[in-house]
């Protein structure tokens, strides 16, 4: 392994050992727990939404270094982002945020946090629309 690869690997491990935004948020607007059925590793996302933007975001869970580091990196990236922007993050973009290139076998690890965020946002927006519809019915 060359020096650059070593540095990128260290950066990933640093996110794993000292994750950013690790924890839970009470009364989160967005909350979703997702898991990788192959290994059972899980990520639970908590986020507060203010003016259609992510004002606060945290994650909890357990799993391999890639899944936990990806959650740390993604939550840092999402802080302050508009939901519309957050929804546009593709799998490729998520994987490119990781300091190392993950093998095909580990792609699910790298995408677990993004999947939890995407599903959480869908549920949040669905609930918001239902509230708006029931308000117009009043």
The three-state (H, E, C) secondary structure of the chain, written as one string: CCHHHHHHHHHHHHHHHCCCCECCCCCCCEEEEEECCCCCCEEEEEEEEECCEEEEEEEEEECCHHHHHHHHHHHHHHCCCEHHHHHCCCHHHHHHHCCCCCCHHHHHHHHHHHHHHHHHHHHHHHHHHHHHHHHHHC
| 74 is a site residue for ligand FES (CB under 6 A) | no
Q: Is the Cβ of residue 65 or residue 89 nearer to ligand FES in the bound state? A: 65
| 63 is a site residue for ligand FES (CB under 6 A) | yes
Can you tell me which of 60, 64, 95, 102 binds ligand FES, judged by CB under 6 A? 64
Q: Is the Cβ of residue 28 or residue 71 nearer to ligand FES in the bound state? A: 71
Can you tell me which of 47, 78, 109, 111 binds ligand FES, judged by CB under 6 A? 109
Q: Is the Cβ of residue 68 or residue 124 nearer to ligand FES in the bound state? A: 68
Q: Is the Cβ of residue 57 or residue 116 nearer to ligand FES in the bound state? A: 116
- Chain contacts with ligand FES (rule: CB under 6 A): 36, 39, 41, 63-64, 66-67, 109, 112
């Amino acid at each position: 392994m060359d020096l650059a690869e070593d540095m990128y690997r260290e950066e990933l491990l640093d996110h794993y050992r000292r994750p950013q935004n690790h924890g839970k948020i009470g009364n989160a607007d967005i909350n979703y727990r997702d898991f990788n059925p192959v290994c059972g590793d899980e990520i639970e996302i908590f986020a507060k939404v203010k003016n259609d933007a992510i004002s606060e975001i945290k994650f909890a869970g357990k799993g391999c270094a890639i899944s936990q580091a990806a959650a740390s990196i993604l939550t840092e990236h999402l802080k302050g982002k508009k939901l519309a922007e957050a929804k546009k993050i593709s799998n490729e973009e998520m994987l490119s945020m990781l300091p190392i290139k993950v093998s095909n076998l580990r792609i699910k690890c790298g995408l677990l946090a993004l999947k939890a965020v995407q599903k959480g946002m869908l549920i949040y927006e669905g609930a918001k629309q239902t509230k708006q519809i029931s308000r117009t019915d009043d």
